[in-house]
Structure 1
């Protein structure tokens, strides 16, 4: 595991007098990258302290969280169970196949049952089938996950004004903002359409994890490019151009949308000249 993750300055004439650093959390581990490791870290510690031997979690068929949980289980000696939304399809896609290679047992819930996955009836049925397990929420976001994400700002060795990240559940943003020093702010970029609900979710997550919500963060809900996992020719062109300029391939579900949004805010003057930004490359 490469922690702290590398911090590199991005040289790009489009930034003008704004400085942009990349916090390369995608390089923490090829199998458990970025916020996936930070969210899992203290959950794994707690599972061990509670003498659990099995991790059970939920996700879609292409879930990075499912794949990362399987890899973490293989690395740290836990059995893993992935409860997948929808019907089983063969052959397995690359993501699920990798999870299976790391020892994960897959189970499937139809979409109706999956919507009730946290109900006592569904959890009791899973316990009857699989026995005792440590439950990780879908996406890995809980109070322990926020504790792991809160550690990231302290790893940054340059003075900065704004810390940017992509937002799915809001857990990463909630944790990062809690770790900032006075005067620093966090800016999240929602990867899904209609992300206004994330504001309430981030406040709730911070309150549950730390006792109170902070006021040092905000969310851009307009950089989603049509919705979760959607993309447009404009986003595809940005990704290709970024690869040519900087030899970095961006994940188009989360990171590309976030960085496109950062450059858009620079162009609009949202970030004044002299601002130093750190953008978290989560994977």
Structure 2
């Protein structure tokens, strides 16, 4: 069954939203697409899945949900956490641990080298997923998404999805050469995003990177992000507070055509992000 499409009006413009956020409470959005190949993998093929990154990660939660369903052990590495992060009673990290994720902290000075060595001497029953789900195996899931978009036949020629590593935007553009695919960097700048995508595949000409007019630090609270998220929520669709606001700001500032926005999920992380906004006095 295909994820539905909603209409959304923002600042007088009509957008369409591909509701991948409705696929599953935890295993939804672009993480469902990226993990599609592993979701089709027989449980007996692997025993352990390893990944790494931050504790706000949507990919971390999606992998935890997948591994629980498959009966696989899930090991997740991070840099040292604060006591506050460890004691949170909500948000992605909390829910991932409840799903059975085994969390291991690495010292800051050891983290980079340890992550670089993860694939050394791996056995055949262990699979490593790079931060954010940036793996070649993600391509099949994005091809399935591309097929859905074609068959839902909206008569649009522009799509949009925000980027961390750029995996979703890259493979979507490769799978839909007849569409213009917009994205914006949410981690680092446009040069960093191009570097990440180029490590997977040559960047196609139909992929357009919209550079933010202001530099934002990843996952930090910004009043304009909260205002954008609340504006979108008043239109009837909840988006995450980390990736979506920057993408929507870029679309409203730098485009003028009708666009299909691919909802990348991640709304489970809003619980902990809203607490941070309250601590900053923004709410």
Bin for the TM-score computed over the shorter chain: 0.7 to 0.9
Task: Give the counterpart of 1:134 among 127, 135, 142.
Answer: 127
Once the two structures are superposed, residues 243-270 of structure 1 have per-residue CA deviations (whole angstroms, 9 ceiling, x without a partner) of 22x13222121012212221222xxxx4
Q: Is the 8 A contact 1:87 1:110 kept in 2?
A: no
Separation in 2, partners of 1:224, 1:51: 46
The TM-score with structure 2 as length reference comes to 0.81
Q: Is the 8 A contact 1:191 1:224 kept in 2?
A: no
Tell me which residue corresponds to 2:4. 6
Question: Within 5 Å, which residues of 2 pair with 1:1-283?
Answer: 3-12=1-10, 14-15=12-13, 19-46=14-41, 48=42, 51-87=45-81, 89=83, 90-92=86-88, 94=90, 95-120=92-117, 132-156=125-149, 157=152, 158-182=154-178, 184-207=179-202, 213-222=203-212, 226-244=216-234, 246-265=235-254, 270-271=255-256, 275-283=257-265
Specify the SS of the correspondent of 2:225. helix
Specify the SS of the correspondent of 1:11. strand
The TM-score with structure 1 as length reference comes to 0.81
Q: Is the 8 A contact 1:87 1:109 kept in 2?
A: no
Q: CA RMSD in A?
A: 2.6
Separation in 2, partners of 1:60, 1:12: 31
Structure 1 spans left out of the alignment, 5+ residues? 208-212
Q: Is the 8 A contact 1:26 1:281 kept in 2?
A: yes
What is the aligned length?
259
Tell me which residue corresponds to 1:210. none
Distance 1:191 1:252, change over 3 A: same
